[in-house]
Structure 1
Amino acid sequence: MSVLVTGGAGFIGSHFVRTLLSGGYPAFADTDVVVLDKLTYAGNLANLDPVKDSPRLTFVEGDILDPKLTEELVGASDAVVHFAAESHVDRSILGATDFVMTNVVGTQTLLDAALRTGLSKFVHVSTDEVYGSIDEGSWPETHPLEPNSPYAASKASSDLIARSYARTHKLDINITRCSNNYGPYQFPEKVIPLFVTNLLDGGTVPLYGDGLNVRDWLHVDDHCRGIALVLEKGRPGEVYNIGGGTELTNKELTGLLLEALGADWDRVVPVEDRKGHDRRYSVDISKISAELGYTPQVPFKQGLADTVQWFRDNRAWWEPLKQRAALAR
């Protein structure tokens, strides 16, 4: 079997690839993996270093917007797991064009290739942000899509494009919607690695608004295990939420990170709230649990401690990324 993984040099995609090639998903023990990644600022070949010598790994630098390339790679694959996306909300607020092109048109380009080549399975990786904001309770997969940021709108659009190909063309497509991921190799613009690396360098960390926005935290290992289950036995055309089961306010998360790094609240700088900042996310995971046997396995306390330690131990990985980002500003 051959699986094409788009965005496989990014944070979540590379974790999926490393785990698959290391034998972490028994159903795919002998699977060959082709990684297609444009290597934008968030794509990093170093993320694949632990498996770079695997004879089952092929890396292709390229763009999912390239119809000729996508048709060639999709046509040689049995399945596609589609991680490639622009994913940072703040960047989408500053300019949405790249988000629409990559997330919407890029997904449509891949789906056209899947249609033309008769692909057997397509897993489209999405986000809980497509649902909008919820004051209480949790979203089932049937909840209307009500995105509030340009990023979330672009992902909701890509979900609907994928759904249309499943319904119209009867392609075997699944959509997964995850809560907030964390773990090793996460690009240091996201909140946990940003806070950890800033604090390690003796700097300050920003806290939006009143800090009471709530997020459900999902370790990247649990997320990718859920995706592997969907790839293995997800029902055609179905959507599956993947959550971690740990809801925290941003202020609570900040307190835990300060404690982990031995820092005080004087290192926290209140900043103006993000435009259109969703108050709370919460996904109902009963469907994937009942159908596919998914439950989150990584306790948040342990996962956070391990993540902090990883960034302590891997300064050589994240320092160049932060220096490059600083020069770009």
Structure 2
Amino acid sequence: MTTEKLTILLAGASGVFGREITTALTGAGHTVIGLGRAAANGVPADLLDRDGLLRAVAGTSADAVVHAATALKRPPLRHRDMAATDQLRILGTRNLLAAAREVGATRFIAESMVFGYGYGDHGDTPLAETDGWAPVQRDPALEQHVAAMRTKEELMLGAGGIALRYGLFYGGAGTDAMVQMLRKRMLPLPADGGRALPWVTLADASAAIVAALEHGRPGQAYNIADDAAVGFREMAELTAEVFGAPAPMRVPRWVPGMLGYLSVILSTNLRVDSGLAHRELHWRPSHDGARAALAEQA
């Protein structure tokens, strides 16, 4: 556990989540050095270019490295929307750990996802970190996504880092993106679309980064999600109601199947137990349910 002020190399600092993390870390008194392809970063570099990355960080010193880099510009609907992020989770993580050694970092935090447990129906009992991974489904596209998430975690935990298994993001820019999709009628959902899924606001997810740096146990993964799971269509309808956007289009169940990845999300039933994060990180959601969190933003 540490409460000292750290210098943190943040991969993905210019992204939606990265900007939230930067605000949370600097608000806690830490110093952030942004790392990413955008010129606005303190260290402009491509995580997939190992040699270029090592040249870019040469001479930089940091106490910790946070991996929050993705290639997502909006919520992914098709399997191909995840391809570049899958690469960042595997090759990008390996290269970032090499850069971490170069800058002298001894603490590592990885943004992970609850879908590392696997897609599909997990039943109604919340999964804890001790439950382990479910068998990978026999779908090549899903295997690629799940393997990428698990590899990222394994690499970070193997280096003595910490993995934060987030629910789906909402709130802030995450909700803005859904509102835009609803207003443009770009979110087709069946009437019964969506089983129970874990969610977490971007602000709470960012607070978990700070908590993990200050209180986290090396080599440990933590579930980070709201106390109550919410179906995807339920979240979309709630967002539309709070922000005055059109409700999501009602379409036959086979329509989202044409998109691929969205269909997988809609067919997944998953709840997680964030009790370990409550106890060890002293982290809890800052609101009482999704409606309250959305109302704070509206």
Aligned match of 1:174: 162
Kindly state the Cα deviation for residue 288 of structure 1 after the two structures are TM-superposed.
1.3
The 5 Å alignment of 1:93-172 reads: 93-94=79-80, 97-115=83-101, 118-132=104-118, 133=120, 134-146=122-134, 149=142, 150-166=144-160
Q: Distance in 2 between matches of 1:96 and 1:303?
A: 27
The 5 Å alignment of 1:242-253 reads: 242-253=224-235
Cα distance change on mapping 1:103 and 1:217 into 2, 3 Å:
same
2:294 is equivalent to residue 304 of structure 1: yes
**Deviating more after overlay: 62-71 vs 218-227:** 62-71
Kindly state the Cα deviation for residue 13 of structure 1 after the two structures are TM-superposed.
1.4
Q: Distance in 2 between matches of 1:68 and 1:165?
A: 20
Q: Secondary structure at the match of 2:129?
A: coil
Encode CA deviations 1:89-141: one digit per residue, 9 max, x unaligned.
534x2376523421101101111233455422111111101001421211111
2:238 is equivalent to residue 256 of structure 1: yes
CA contact (8 A) 2:10 2:34 kept: yes
Q: Distance in 1 between matches of 2:125 and 2:242?
A: 30
Letter in 1 for 2:126: S
**Deviating more after overlay: 135-144 vs 208-217:** 208-217
Q: Distance in 2 between matches of 1:195 and 1:19?
A: 23
CA contact (8 A) 2:11 2:65 kept: yes
Aligned match of 2:209: 227
2:50 is equivalent to residue 67 of structure 1: yes
Q: Distance in 1 between matches of 2:286 and 2:268?
A: 26
Aligned match of 1:280: 269
User: 5+ unaligned residues in a row in structure 1: which ranges?
Assistant: 46-57, 167-172, 187-191, 310-329
Structure number with greater CO (CA < 8 Å, separation at least 6) is 2
**Deviating more after overlay: 267-276 vs 247-256:** 267-276
Cα distance change on mapping 1:216 and 1:276 into 2, 3 Å:
closer
CA contact (8 A) 1:179 1:282 kept: no
CA contact (8 A) 2:163 2:222 kept: yes
Aligned match of 1:196: 179
Kindly state the Cα deviation for residue 6 of structure 1 after the two structures are TM-superposed.
0.5
Aligned partner (choices 287, 290, 296) of residue 279 of structure 2? 290
Kindly state the Cα deviation for residue 265 of structure 1 after the two structures are TM-superposed.
5.2
CA contact (8 A) 2:124 2:270 kept: no
Task: Give the TM-score of the pair, scaled to structure 2.
Answer: 0.80
Q: Distance in 2 between matches of 1:86 and 1:289?
A: 30
Q: Percent identity?
A: 25
Encode CA deviations 1:126-182: one digit per residue, 9 max, x unaligned.
11010014212111112332455233321111112223333xxxxxx1111111111
Task: Give the TM-score of the pair, scaled to structure 1.
Answer: 0.73
Q: Distance in 1 between matches of 2:81 and 2:16?
A: 22
RMSD of aligned Cα (Å):
2.8
CA contact (8 A) 1:135 1:279 kept: no
